[in-house]
Amino acid sequence: MKRLWSLFLGVSFVTCVAASEVSVNVTVEVKNIRNNQGNILVMAQMDDHSTPVYGWSKITGHTAQVVLKNVGTKECVISVFHDENGNWKLDTDERGIPIEGFARKIYKPDSHEPFQVKLYYFQNEAL
């Protein structure tokens, strides 16, 4: 009986670990892009201690789609920004206010695909 109980606990542990490591791909549709210069950069992160998942896309028109691969199955924060000048970072003014479009939104695994995010711009003039 002890052996059977140990086997049951071992199988349960392996099943729980395998289930926690399941991941999915998430398609992020970015809207409200003010021009087609540069790239759209996207990051998903479960919490401050988890490894982020990154993706990027060229812009076609005023929308872009980015597929994030192997995102966990738990709720996470998706951050998006429009890298208009192609330097791969979010540029800010002297006060630290972003001068490129950005957005942050919570993704829940039961969300509809594609996951839609609208960019916001503090300044309206192009770079």
Domains with residue ranges and CATH for the chain: 23-118 (2.60.40)
For residue 23, the model assigns a pLDDT of: 83
Q: What is the largest CA-CA distance in the chain?
A: 74
Give the per-residue pLDDT at 1.
52
Handedness of CA 108, 26, 20, 51 (dihedral sign): negative
Q: Which pTM was predicted?
A: 0.77
The pLDDT profile of the chain, 127 residues, written as one tens digit per residue, is: 555 445 454 444 444 444 456 788 999 999 999 999 999 999 999 988 999 999 999 998 889 999 999 998 889 999 999 999 999 999 999 999 999 999 999 999 876 779 999 999 987 554 4
Cβ(31)–Cβ(62) under 8 Å? yes
C-alpha span between 71 and 62 (Å, rounded): 25
Pairwise CA distance, residues 48 & 65, whole Å? 25
How far apart are alpha carbons 27 and 116 in whole angstroms? 9
